[in-house]
Amino acid sequence: PKVLTDAERTSMMAAGPVARHDTTDQLPRQADFVGRDRTGGSIGRWLVAVAVLAILTVVVTVAINMVSGNPRDVQVPDVRGQASADAIAALQNKGFKIRTQQKPDNTVAPDHVINTDPAGNSSAGAGDEVTINVSTGPEQREVPDCSNGLSYAECVKKLQATGFGKFKQADAPSTPEQKDKVLSTIPPANQTSAITNEITIVV
């Protein structure tokens, strides 16, 4: 074997062990981290996109409903003044449910339609209930008694307070004590009469 000189042994000991640099797995680990980051970012972007599309769908749907209304809305026929039977048939033909309600009315003939709820020419859902207000004719009131010493003017005020609005005076022979005093009315006192009827005051 080769015999080293003292100088060669000293040189080798001074150099020390050769350093090892293990870099074999650094690049694969870095590539794996980058790949995971890209995958997570893609999923996040997709979730955001789906959420935005869902919100836009809701907004567009609400806007369309506000502009165009319910596609099942039907126009309520205007049946004012019609006989109640004809009005009911017209509304049922449009698919509405009917509820009738009777009310006195001074201008609409009995058994004819005053109005409806919802009103005619408005829109309502198919199958909704429509209330028909049917006239019973003018309101009936009891004629007050004016034959207890009232004058014509006092009797008129009493009748007006009851709801009557049409009056005429008729003269009749009487005793001196009854001069300018009301003797009776037509219709007579305590009898019911339509408030649109004319009351004759006999003086």
CATH number for position 180 = 3.30.10.20
Q: Are 133 and 84 in contact (CB under 8 A)?
A: no
Q: How far apart are CA 167 and CA 4, in angstroms?
A: 154
Query: Of 16, 42, 69, which residue sits at a domain end?
Result: 69
Region 163-192 average pLDDT: 95
> How many structural domains compose the chain?
3
Domain boundaries, position 59: 25-69
Query: Of 109, 135, 161, which residue sits at a domain end?
Result: 135
Q: How far apart are CA 179 and CA 169, in angstroms?
A: 14
Q: Is residue 101 part of a domain?
A: yes
Q: Distance of CA 134 to CAs 77, 96, 108, 109, 124, Å? A: 15, 17, 9, 9, 20
Who has greater pLDDT, 5 or 45? Answer: 45
Are residues 78 and 129 both part of a single domain? yes
Query: Of 54, 69, 84, which residue sits at a domain end?
Result: 69
Q: How far apart are CA 163 and CA 121, in angstroms?
A: 33
End-to-end CA distance of the chain: 167
The kind and range of the H/E element at 161 are helix 152-162
Over the chain, what is the mean pLDDT? 84
Are residues 144 and 185 both part of a single domain? yes
Region 141-168 average pLDDT: 96
The model's confidence at residue 30, banded by pLDDT at 50, 70 and 90, is low
Determine the pLDDT at residue 71.
47
Are residues 61 and 97 both part of a single domain? no
- pLDDT higher than threshold 60 for residue 16: no
Q: Distance of CA 43 to CAs 35, 54, 72, 126, Å? A: 13, 17, 41, 46
In the sheet that holds 113-117, the strands lie side by side as: 97-103, 129-135, 113-117
- How many angstroms from the chain centroid is the CA of residue 170? 55
Q: Is residue 13 part of a domain?
A: no
Tokens standing for 159?
Answer: 């009748």
Are residues 146 and 183 both part of a single domain? yes
Most confident of 8-12, 19-23, 41-45, 121-125: 121-125
Q: How confident is the model over 69-122, as pLDDT tens digits? A: 554 789 999 999 999 999 999 999 999 999 999 999 999 999 999 999 999 999
Pairing relationship of beta strands 166-170 and 198-202 according to DSSP bridges: parallel
Q: Is residue 12 part of a domain?
A: no
Are residues 146 and 123 both part of a single domain? no
Determine the pLDDT at residue 52.
84
Measure the CA angle with vertex 110, ends 164 and 167; round to 5°: 20
